[in-house]
Structure 1
Amino acid sequence: MSQPGEPAAPLSEEEQTRLIKHLGRAMLPALPQGWQRVRAEYRAAGRHVEVDLAFAGPDGQWRPVRPPMDVVRLFGRLRAGMHRSDRGTWLSAVYGIEAPAAFSVDFNADEEPRWRNAPPVIGFQDELRAFPRQDERIPDWLRQRVGLPPLPEPAPGGGLRAAHVYDGLDGANRPVVNRQVVDRRLAEALLTYLEGAPVVLTAQGLGVDEFVPGEQDVPLDFRTDGTWIWAGAVPHYLRKHGLPPEPDLVEHIVSRGFRLGEVDEATRERAAALITGDA
């Protein structure tokens, strides 16, 4: 089954919940009286879409039924609305219902679905065009499908990159800065991101302001978004002196749409080890 991808505005969590409930109700017209369990599975890559719907009665035997078009449409709307620029969207979902009203939904964004009929290469290419994701979020199997080269081997520190607070020191050991000033709106968005990332290492007290040595107000902490690591001085100097982060970090944050993702414990530990020199 194929259907054109339709651009859609991102759904809030409340909208997702409402749509998921609507989706469950849309299955009911296809079910006979006496059903006890329902299982719907949706698989998609670009315009290639597969939907299976089955129910079990008192005997526990699963029986397939034809999914209503509303079910297909609502799954597609949910998938499009859950797309995020950093991680793409999910490729398959399993929706289960237990009579009378209990339900659960599992989304898979990384593993290759168990296709009924494998999509052609153009289906996977369409997937990345319609629902782009950051390069490091494209799983190996999908990279192979579309002909992308494999990701490079992680560098020491698990591929994490540490941000420079400034650009160097002059002969008098004073910080040197050669960066383009950012406007106020961009600065506020950067600050929200930089100050909202998880802390991976911190120390008591405050450090000396290297631009105003007589002042001691610099946070002694480090944060990471899973790709970059930065010292508390980075947002502090942006807020206090208007000093923007290094350009590559700014570009990275903008490319993520200023949205922070989850950072797992292993990545936090690698970040801490890199900061302390134990990586």
Structure 2
Amino acid sequence: MSLLLMLPSFSFGIYSSNPPLSLDYYKSTCPTVLEIVRKEVECAVFSDPRNAAFFVRLHFHDCFVQGCDASVLLEDTIMLQGEKKSSNNINSLKGYRLIDRIKNKLESECPGIVSCADILTIAARDAIILVGGPYWDIPLGRKDSKTASYTQADTNLPTADEGLVGIMDKFTSQGLNIIDMVALAGGDNNITAMDYVTPNLFDNSFYTILLRGEGLLHSDQEMFSSLFAIETKELVKKYAIDPIAFFEQFSESMVKLGNIIDPDTFATGEVRKNCRFVNT
């Protein structure tokens, strides 16, 4: 699926980031976390620019299911059914080994400290920067869930052939609004084949493609061409002519996406030693 995803308040719908995330969460426990993640993401993106999209998509698919809790990384076990084989993930998600590499580096430097959920959030931001996108500050301190939801992975995520109303419902159910939806739609598209103009660069060309009626996915083109696209059409026009406005809104919306947190997960979660399995 191509759709992806610093407000003063971080309270959104079912999920909430009322748990105390902070910009300096690892200041004393793992001060090199941002540097380590950045270097690993650099290696991955410089070796293949397509890896940037893998990081972004993993983060988006994670946050739309149980909140940003790294449930998307869990493997199937006798005791747990993961999300990787759901219809929305099985052919869409790659890059798991890239996350493993980052986790292994952090476990060597700061064992048992940095959550996989935080790794996904940081890596997505760094990947965007490396392909020309904007910087934004990331509040940290997420916990990794001990559960996954195959069912939510099938139902919560927008699909390529979905109509605009259905997609809007899925965003609003996560506490994201229509502005967030249109801005986040340009995240993955700008660094994959969905943007045939500048496929390895993060820019606003995705929106100019929609203006021409040439969106490669039905769900994307619906934002400009649907009968219900009254508000989204104006936003597409705005971002097509004003890349600065797009960058600013994308940054704000990515913070909102990253702060979708289930309070129960925060209370009962853990920091996984291996992102693929719950601690034993």
Pick the TM interval, shorter chain. Answer: under 0.3
TM-score, with normalisation over the residues of structure 1? 0.23
Bigger strand share: 1
Please say which structure displays the higher CA radius of gyration: 1
Structure with more contact order per residue of length (Cα contacts < 8 Å, sep ≥ 6)? 2
Identify the structure with the greater helix proportion.
Answer: 2
What TM-score comes out, normalization by structure 2 length? 0.23
